[in-house]
Amino acid sequence: MENVPLLLLGASSSHSGIDIPAPPGSKLIAVHDGEITFREFLGAGGYTITLSFENYKISYCHCDPNWMVSVGDNIKQGQVIGCVGPKNVYGVKGNQYFDAEGNPTNGATTGPHLHLGIRIDGKYVNPVDFF
């Protein structure tokens, strides 16, 4: 499913994955055993962590930039891997996202939340199917 319908309020448009409203600092939990394969600022996704296992890639977007994990870390299901980040982040080279007041944002976001994306064999699927 290339463009998953918007399932929860908070996003400005339809996009792949779901948005889960949460205050900054809310814990992000690993949904499965796996390996951290990505941990960087990723444009619209802001600060992003990707957990990979088998043919799955789970992306946690708009994270707190105070990383708890590193690329290559082996993770156990239920382990805290990060936190929901703030709306505004500063000092990110090349960040092209800003709020109405001109402050740089944590990717394409209007406020703190988790954007959860699930890819199987590189194609986005609806995360709600797994809850």
Please, what is the average pLDDT of the chain?
Answer: 90
CATH architecture observed for domain 18-126: Distorted Sandwich (2.70)
pLDDT at 29 over 60: yes
> How high is the pLDDT of residue 11?
42
* Residue of 49 and 4 predicted with greater confidence: 49
Residues 65-111 have pLDDT tens digits of 999 999 999 999 999 999 999 999 999 999 999 999 999 999 999 99
Give the separation between CA 3 and CA 11, rounded to whole angstroms. 13
In angstroms, how far is CA 61 from the centroid of its own chain?
1
Identify the burial level of 42 via C-beta atoms within 10 angstroms of its C-beta, where 0-12 means exposed, 13-18 middle and 19 or more buried: middle
pLDDT band (50, 70, 90) for residue 16: confident
Residues 69-81 have pLDDT tens digits of 999 999 999 999 9
